[in-house]
Amino acid sequence: MRKHIVAGNWKMNNDLAQTEDLVSDLKKQSKTSDAEVMIAPATTNLWHAFQSVREDDIEVIAQNMHFAENGAYTGEVSASMLKSIGIKTVILGHSERRAYFNETDASLAKKVDAALSNDMRVIFCFGEELADRKSGNEATVVESQIKNALFHLDADAFEHIVLAYEPVWAIGTGETASPEQAQDMHAFIRKTLSNKYGNTVANNVSILYGGSVKPNNAKEIFGKPDVDGGLIGGASLKAEDFYAIVNAF
């Protein structure tokens, strides 16, 4: 069944002391919604965060991983390494990974396979750039990102996949997709899945929206029928703001 999920992507923010502070602030917040709560600290702080939230209702997840199991990939981290410290979910395909680290649909397909074969859950990100939206190509771009990275999977795999639509023009810009734009795209994504895998798979996959979600707009965006949650950047770095978003459901 699809779930409500609110995940905080901390990106390259917060050293160990700051991670300790933010985790401790998060633990003081109370959740009044049914949303699953996740936080994605930097790799160096995953273990600390995982240890700290063990008893709490927060899952610690990774921002990225490599597709290989191990080997000569200096600077990289594998699925089994993440698993060995208790991490069960990984964000893959964030637009910043695509833009600054040359991640492609083909390399992401390999990462998705590696995560799934290690029994990890994937939050798979995609979304169009401003030029795509301006030229009316947003649906074509999103469809090809999903098809190229995910459509080699069988239907069962989608039990372990969460989708995150993050229009690049809305990330960190303060400009959000309108609730209607988000709903239209989420409905299109569900239709794309349904055409390939059928209605059951499509209706069971959680589709998150990401891009300048804040306490003052979360309720309206989350109110749309095909929006199952959010992937939150800037606003996830303040415990009160993050929980205002979590509790917007």
Q: Give residues in contact with ligand 13P (CB under 6 A).
A: 9, 94, 166, 171-172, 210-213, 231-235
**What distance in Å separates the CA atoms of residue 151 and residue 24, rounded to the nearest whole number?**
40
Q: For the CB of residue 220, give the shortest distance to ligand 13P in the complex, in Å.
A: 15
Q: Which amino acid is at 119?
A: D
CB of 241 to ligand 13P, least distance (A): 10
Token pair of 248 as six digits: 């917007």
Please, which residue, 11 or 201, has the CB nearer to ligand 13P?
11
CB of 213 to ligand 13P, least distance (A): 6
Q: What three-state secondary structure class fits 248?
A: coil
**How far, in whole angstroms, is CA 138 from its chain's centroid?**
19
Q: Catalytic one among 96, 103, 166, 186?
A: 166
With b meaning 16 or more CB within 10 Å and e meaning fewer, what string describes 117-141? ebebbbbbbbbbbeebbeeeebbeb
CA distance 237 to 120: 25
| Residue of this chain nearest to ligand 13P (CB atom) | 233
**CB 56, min distance to ligand 13P, A:** 22
Could you say which of 94, 96, 138, 186 is catalytic? 94
Is 166 catalytic? The answer is yes
Is 94 one of the catalytic residues? yes
Q: Which helix (H) or strand (E) holds 116?
A: helix 105-117
Catalytic residues, by residue number, are: 94, 166
